[in-house]
Amino acid sequence: SYEHTLERREADRATERADATDELREELDSDAQPRALALNRALRAATSIQMMSASPEAALRDPLVERAVREADAEARACEARGEWVIASELFFRLNAMYEEDERYLPDLERLGHRLQMIRTYAPERYWTLRNERRLAEDFDPLPPYNPTGDSYKTKLQGIDRFVTARAIIRAAQRHVDSPSVPELLGGGIDGVLTLASTDDIWESFPGLADATRRAQFVEHLRTLRARYADPTRPNRLTDVQDAVSEVVAASKATVGIPEEVLFHEFGDGALGVLDEYSQVIWPGDVDTFARSTSGSFVGIGVQISLDAMNQLMIVTPLAGTPAQRAGLRANDVITAVDGESTLGFTLDQAVDNITGQRGTDVVLTVERTRGEGDDEKVERFDVTLTRDRIALESVRGWKRTGSGGQDWDWYVDPDRHIGYIAISQFQEGTTRDFRKAVRSMQSKGLNGLIVDLRFNPGGLLDEAVGIVSQFVERSPVVTVEGADGRTEDTEYAYAGEAILEDTPVVVLINEGSASASEIVSGALQDYAARGMVDVLLVGQRSFGKGSVQNVWELRAEKPTLIKLTTQYYKLPGGRLIHRGRHTSPEKGVAPDLTVEMLPDQILESAEIRRNADVVLLNERGEMIDPDPDMPSDPEALLADGIDAQLHTGLVLLQSRAVGPATVARRPSEMEPVR
């Protein structure tokens, strides 16, 4: 029952808070060494206390929590000074999570993240060593041996030159919404190269940096250039961009001899690093990954993969109708080699980079398959050649799988009352089309209410967000786009003739992971519900607060390079600006009409069940097979076991509408949080 769901949450809250308090006290008083690991565990417990509290701000004033923050702050800075980048980054990550609202630790986290990314790019084996040492420090099993396949920075940085770097910086100066000055951008670019020079873990890749005398000369050159080109009183001259880049290259040639493409890469990333977190250069090696995140498809063989407990590359499931499924690959098959190169030690990024490729090309996988159990267990090893093809991705999912196709779902969370459920994972090409098909399918059988789950939806394409809102209202503003000066530059309107849900009671689920396009959808529907134009209620927790618009330009067609820049901010139909960046509103994000909390363990457990339920396991004939009984995959448990309080609240609200003429007694704004 719903009462059971709330009772379980509150019982779990009390138990988990008490356990976290005991753990925090124990770790703070511990003599265990290294101290940084104990403090990392202490911060984990402090974060749990904060998340269990009705007032996160009050939890930060708890004397134990204050002590943990004070000691962890000092230790993080000491670790960074000693070059212990990994644990310093972890400590700053936890501190930033606790003080996310005022972002006091964000610069520290970004600085450490930038340095670790440099190590990952230019000294990947050293990066493996750092990660492995971190695991061993916690008595975890070691990582598999480092695998260098496809992991060379020389391959990743192909196609980067001074001209594309200069174009990126000039475009940022001309088009970014905050109108950054050229000196500001060049200062960031030179700082990026200075960080490169001071990261001793990559010196083995660049022998010139390992020479203390030559390195000192290079750093002095850079500081001189920074004083000249980053002087805030210097005129805003675009010609300075080429000059500064050229002088950095000249300084390197005269001292440490860093490859030019490395300098261009770090200068460009450093320059755009002074902007907001969403602006970036998309270098040639990253273009395919970026395209996969927005296009709704990619070129590959059609498998979902993961690293198993032994860090082997395992197939979770082949996707229906793809080369992998047609070739007979199965769930739990282990890919031991790609084109003859062992996958032992692969990261998932390496696996994706090596398995995907151009459409129509072949890839040879070496596969191990286990048959039987116990004494009858046998391992088969064989090669299979697959031709890469375009693979469609799903962004619209229902309540339960009924088949392997994209629309093979039981859409009803409550079939007796005809209450539907649709989860949108992101807004990509085809999202509106698939959403509309799902709604029409339910309407043909009867639809008395609908839950639209936008939790942990990071956003995506604006056109698709507008398309979803168009299923509720017609010819009405969805989002207004403004420049930094507040002047309206554009307005997106809902399309005509598509509103098929304007008279249907709908609950939209949101949480802190709902961002960007999902906030446009939820915020616009909330505004129109307040005007009585739609019957929509938002349930969950306040959304992330990304109220900015990014545009993408091609900097060069050959060896494609792109730049993504924040160019505008958006307001919802009611005039709200929800962005959490520099141009922030007092209230970041979209606040739900009815606040319903979930505990961290409940969030993790519900996400695991939902993920397992969404995966369809197939055999080589494309037939569904039963899931592993040890993997929880029945979404009914989310309700029956009191795991997902937000979903359960939404369902109860719709059930009260579907059983008869009764309606919710109070308007959303009058409702109390469900705590």
- The catalytic residues are 516, 527, 546
Furthest CA-CA distance within the chain = 83
556 burial level (CB within 10 Å; 0-12, 13-18, 19+): middle
Handedness of CA 531, 537, 541, 546 (dihedral sign): negative
Token pair for 42: 């202490």
Of 246, 82, 251, give the one whose Cα is nearest residue 162. 246
Strand, coil or helix: what is 481?
strand
Distance, CA of 470 to CA of 499 (rounded, Å): 6
Distance, CA of 48 to CA of 67 (rounded, Å): 15
Number of C-beta neighbours around residue 19 at 10 A: 14
Strand, coil or helix: what is 458?
coil
Distance, CA of 73 to CA of 525 (rounded, Å): 42
End-to-end CA distance of the chain: 17
Number of C-beta neighbours around residue 308 at 10 A: 12
Residue 651 CA: distances (Å) to CA of 196, 420, 421, 469, 638? 53, 9, 9, 21, 12
Sequence-ordered strand ranges (E) for 446-532: 449-453, 477-482, 488-493, 506-510
Task: Write down the number of H helices and E strands in the chain.
Answer: 23, 22
Number of C-beta neighbours around residue 70 at 10 A: 10
Distance, CA of 193 to CA of 188 (rounded, Å): 9
